A and B are shown apart, each in its own frame.
Chain A
């Protein structure tokens, strides 16, 4: 049981390049999230997928797109990277409880450190 895995662990991009961050979970969780963490700040939500087949914007979605490929996988894409997207990116997942309530803890992946030059 690997929990939440993310690839790659590190990445350096040039301005304007594109890339996709991959996330997978093996806990049969319904909901998945992408956060970014910048120095001196807590994690901020970029996009989330409350259940397979749905995605929605979070607090800071500009410059990103997501795909919920299946129940296990949730990818984050930067179409044209900018220096402001230099950050550490975390994927998280959680299950839904009785009657769809979010009652459980979010489990986080190890993060991807992205640098955009």
Chain B
């Protein structure tokens, strides 16, 4: 079974600085996807960034980038130029890639880590 671990329950960063959130996962699969979701106080789950395991190049989305280390099973999120609106809980998530016809094993379900609460200070 796959597991996702976020070892930093809480972090803080000064506005405009850079912060890195850690995530490790355990899987025997070779083909999968990794995600970072943001959950602000509104509770809405918002996709920040995603990474396909078969791609060696690290994904980037504006101020957000990842450091994907497949052999080490590590998937960290770097937030550059932190803004007050980045204050939220961040979840790392894993999804096994399964293609083919509809079967009970072909779920597309996400496995989440415990989350990291990030506070951006003015």
Q: Type the 1/0 row for B83-97, where 1 means its CB is closer than 8 Å to any CB of A.
A: 000000001010101
Tell me which residues across on chain A come within 8 A of B101, comparing CB atoms.
100
Q: Which residues from chain B sit less than 8 Å from chain A, CB to CB?
A: 4, 9, 33, 35, 37, 42-45, 47, 50, 91, 93, 95, 97-104, 106-110, 112-115
Pick from B42, B50, B107: contact of A102, CB below 8 A. B107
Contact across chains for B114 and A40 when beta carbons are under 8 A apart: yes
A113 vs chain B, min Cβ distance (A): 8
Cβ-defined partner of A100 (8 Å) among B35, B95, B99, B114: B99
Contacts of A44 in B (CB 8 A): 112
* Alpha-carbon distance between A41 and B89 when the two chains are bound, in angstroms: 11
Q: Kindly state the separation between the CA atoms of A92 and B108 in the bound complex, as whole angstroms.
A: 11
B113 and A42 within 8 A (CB): yes
Number of A residues, CB within 8 Å of B: 32
Which 3 pairs, one residue from A and one from B, show the smallest C-beta to C-beta distance? A102-B108, A42-B112, A101-B99
Q: List 9 A-B contacts (CB under 8 A).
A: A31-B107, A42-B91, A45-B109, A98-B99, A101-B100, A102-B95, A105-B47, A106-B108, A111-B45
Nearest CB in chain B: distance from A85 CB, A = 18
- Complex: chain A residue closest to B47, CB-CB: A105
> A94 near B114 (CB under 8 angstroms)?
no
Tell me which residues across on chain B come within 8 A of A33, comparing CB atoms.
109-110
